[in-house]
Structure 1
Amino acid sequence: MVRFKNRWLLVEITPVPSDASFPDLNPSQIWLALKLAALAHFGDAGWGALASSLTVKYYAPLTRLAIIRVARDAHREAWAALTLLRAIDGNPYRTRVVHVSGTIKHAQLAAIEHNRIAIATFRARANTPAAYHDSHTTFLTQSTREIEAMRD
């Protein structure tokens, strides 16, 4: 028996311009936008390579971070489609693949670290001390729990 091998893409999805206020995204919107980008740039064959394995497992609106699972053989097509993605639901977005891993555990660790850095950046811009307890602390705790609870 052969096991199904995946790649996990950690993706940052930011609106253009970065201070724009668009409605919060959800995983199904990201999946549909990725499908449309793959169809537009790679046709039916490109989408066929991605269709059976593509899932958006996690999305955090505050840090704009998504975790996407795709088959190992098709991860380059998914990465390219993400890079070529320009809009989600008619709103302009820019995507950046932050991390690629072969296991969910390493994707989880990278996502938790990315969230910590993003929250530290938010606090630095607001000139709040590192030990300050606010809604960001609650977000970090909750997002860490959600990320660690993900299963393949």
Structure 2
Amino acid sequence: MRNQYDFSPLYRTAIGFDRLANFIEAASNQSAQTQNNGYPPYNIEAVDENNYRITLAVAGFAEDELSIVAQENALIVTGTKQKKNSQAKFLHQGIAERGFERKYQIADHVKVKAANLENGLLFIELEREIPEALKPKQIPINGKLNVESLEAKSA
């Protein structure tokens, strides 16, 4: 039996972070059924501070059988296997030829840059692009306010 946690104290003490608390709560309640029991296997790699790569093992899928959709703060990768009209009689069938849907929550300002299918691996490149208005700014401390220099910089 899974432990159930009460996240309501986060809602009472964190103003503006309710979305983060929702992510934590959703992750704790996530069932194995929604993730297709780990199929297909994947890696998430931090390439550098602002670039990431998701690698999914999608052996047997062609490009036209895969779909990647980025919407709001979600990335959805879907694989739909085409049905073959084969009369093959398998003695053992260990290769999974089933469809899948894999969902990833992505942070604000993270964009999908590219996707590449190579040797049965689907590579999805992501980049965090923080707008200038949200980047930290160094504020000089010089003892007195110089209004003229501030106006000149803003013009």
Verify same fold: TM over 0.5.
Answer: no
TM-score, normalised to structure 1, is 0.27
Q: TM-score, normalised by structure 2?
A: 0.26
Q: Which has the higher strand share?
A: 2
More helix by share: 1
Whose RCO is larger (CA < 8 A, sep 6+)?
Answer: 1
